[in-house]
Structures are given as structure tokens and as C-alpha cells.
Chains A and B, each alone.
Chain A
Amino acid sequence: MTLRDFIDKLLRRQPASATTAKERLQLVLAHDRSDLNPELLEQMRKEILEVVSRYVEIDFSEGDVSLETEDRVTALVANLPIRRAKVNPGLPAPSEESDSPKAETVEEPEEPALSEAEKETVVS
């Protein structure tokens, strides 16, 4: 944030248009580069939430799954606040530390030729 952005915020003015332009571009390019349409992204979001909520209780109102892009690499970022771990995941869960629902990060770069990577972050 620049000094100008800060003053704008204080005075509740619209932010400088360059800031808006950059934010809009970053969002639209993340979608362009991943070639994911909003429908597919929504479907993926639902499935990810479904899988994660089998193991932990998620705060759905705060949760967010979105595309972010930096240095021509697009990442899928999931920010899912965990209310509590489920005692019985009910599924043949892979070996996991059940009582540490701290921060768990899985980074899994895929096909660098397409300059895409997937990142899933679960934060409590």
C-alpha cells in the first residue's frame, strides 16, 4: 500500500485507478492463464470443501478458494479456517497427526510447461 492509497482510505475516497487496474488485471490473468472458467472453479471449490470437511469442521463463511498469480505462475489458494478436527474422520484416512489442526501446506507443482502450479493451504 502506498501513502496515496492510505490517505484515500482515510478519506474514504476511491483508490487510485492504477491500483484498481492492477488488481483487476491480476484477477483476470489468473483466470486466463489457468484456462479455468468460473463454473469449473466453483465445482472444484465445492469438491475441495467436501473433501476437507470430511476430516475437519470448516468455517464456511470465512473460507475462500481462489486463483492467485505471481511471476507467471498461477496458484490455487485455499484458505479454510478450521473450527475443530473431527474425532472420527469416518474414512480410511491416511496417517495423519489427528490433534494438530495447525497450518498444513501442500505444494504440488504440475506441468511447468503450462506454467501452472497448484497450492492448497489450510490454515486454522
Chain B
Amino acid sequence: MTSTGCRFILICSGKGGVGKTTLTANLGIALARQGMRTAVLDADFGLRNLDLLLGLENRIVYTAQDVLSESCRLEQALVKHKQEPKLALMPAGNPRMLEWLKPEDMQKIAAMLGECHDIVLIDCPAGIEDGFKNAAAAAQEAIVITTPEVSAVRDADRVIGLLNTRGIKPIQMVLNRVRPKMMANQEMLAVDDVTDILALPLLGLVLEDEQVIVSTNRGEPLTLNGSNSPAATAYGNIARRICGEEIPLIDPSKVRQGLRAKLSRLMQTKIF
């Protein structure tokens, strides 16, 4: 797979509902905007949703299943995004495929995508069972997305352990749904707490943002329409960091200004 020079990045979390698919969709658009020929591979065959978040659900004719069974060519199954032609979706196959799908099948699809793309984002299913193993088999590097909650961090830790034993690297982390106010009041795990516990470099911080829900309602990722909402900025910055640009991370405690915020920061001073 390396011969093509394509990067294969797994987007995983362990726990469900922390924002894997949203991140994949937004990064897909943002990376395509950077000029990268980008493919997003929906490896969640059981509960596929990437098509929905990209607004491509009505344009699927063939799926990964048809490509594997050679009943269609790769290009026929790939769904090109209308507004962002450098982005293509490889839709997940039928959930019944899970019965016979093997890691080699995912490697085969990924290798085919690698032939004609610069970057392949693999949207991993939740859990650490076969679906995860299949998706991970096709990846070289990984982005672990988590939220500052105990269950999400614990599950992320399990996934990181599995990625380590598979030799997947680098593994970077995106911290999602950060609420600066709660962090300031120490009612939410701090960014440093999570990075210390998981011992991963931070690729990005995404603030809790209602616009994410609005954008999924419409099937238009936030990065598509030049939104300057906090999450849109964060996704855009993550894409640029993936491309090698150095962009400083936001400091959640600086997001809020004013006397209360200053007092909160004072209360967080380490005294011993």
C-alpha cells in the first residue's frame, strides 16, 4: 500500500457517539479543499452513516460489497461529492457482509483507493471487535477521537492499546466536545488530564458546538460552506495539521474572557 504514497488514516474511538463519523466527513471536505485527492471509506458496515453526514445517501448505486465481488468497477462505486469533486465516498456494504468480511477484504479496497487518492480516511465502527479489526487492517496511521468523559477516555485507552500492538503509527488524538466553561470550573476533565492519561499528541481540540447538529441535519459538513463556527475552525485546523502545517492549538481557558473566567483560572492554579 505504501508504494502509492497514499496515506491511510483510521478514525476510531472505541466508544460510539463521540464524533468519529462527523470528524471523518468534515476532514474529508477540508482535506479536499487543501487540494488532496481524498477518499472516505465507510468501514462501519453495521451502522453506516457517513453517506448521510455528507449528504450523499441518495447517490449510492454500488457499495464496497459490489467492488469486492467484482460486480462493478471501483469508479462506479465511488460517490463523488458535487461541491467538492476531490472528495469521494466509498459506501459501506450491506450489514450481512459482516458475516464473511475479512481484514484482507478491507486491505484490498483500501489498496484500490490508494491507487487514485492522496489520502484515505477510514471511518471505523465503534467497539473493538471484528469491525474494528477489519478497519484497522487497512490503516497505517490513526486518529483517536475522544471526549473529556470517563467512559470515552477509558474506551479510547483500550483502542490505543490495540493500535499499538498492531504497530499503527503515528497515533494522534482529537479531543471533541470541549466545554471551556465546565473545564474552567473543574467539572470536566482538563485537556492536560486527557493527554496525560492517554499519552498521545493532540492533533486538535473541538469545542462543543450546536452548529454540528445543524450541519448534520442538512447533510452539509461545517467545513463545506466556510462556516466560522468554533467546530468548523477546529476541523479546518486539524486538516491543515494533517497536511503538515503548524497551527497552534486553542487554549480553552482563553476562549472565555472577563472577571469570572479570570477567577476560574486563578482557582486552577497548582499550589502543590
Contact = CB atoms under 8 A, between A and B. Distances in A.
Interface of A: 1-4, 6-7, 16-19, 21-22, 24-26, 28-29, 32-33, 71-72, 113, 115
Interface residues of B, number: 29
Interface in B179-235: 183, 185-190, 193, 196-199
A24 B269 CA distance: 22
Contact of A33 (B161, B188, B266): B161
Interface stretch (B30-38, B39-47, B149-157): B149-157
Given A2-B268, A33-B161, 19 more contacts: A1-B271, A2-B271, A3-B266, A3-B267, A4-B186, A16-B185, A17-B188, A18-B187, A18-B190, A18-B193, A21-B193, A22-B193, A25-B154, A28-B150, A28-B154, A32-B158, A33-B157, A113-B165, A115-B161
By secondary structure, the B interface counts as helix
B5 to A, nearest CB: 29
A34 B213 CA distance: 38
Nearest to B182: A18
Contact of B197 (A4, A19, A26): A26
A22 B189 contact: yes
A25 B210 CA distance: 28
Top 7 closest pairs, chain A to chain B, by CB = A16-B186, A4-B267, A72-B199, A18-B186, A3-B269, A22-B193, A71-B199
B100 interface: no
Contacts of A6: 271
A1 B267 contact: no
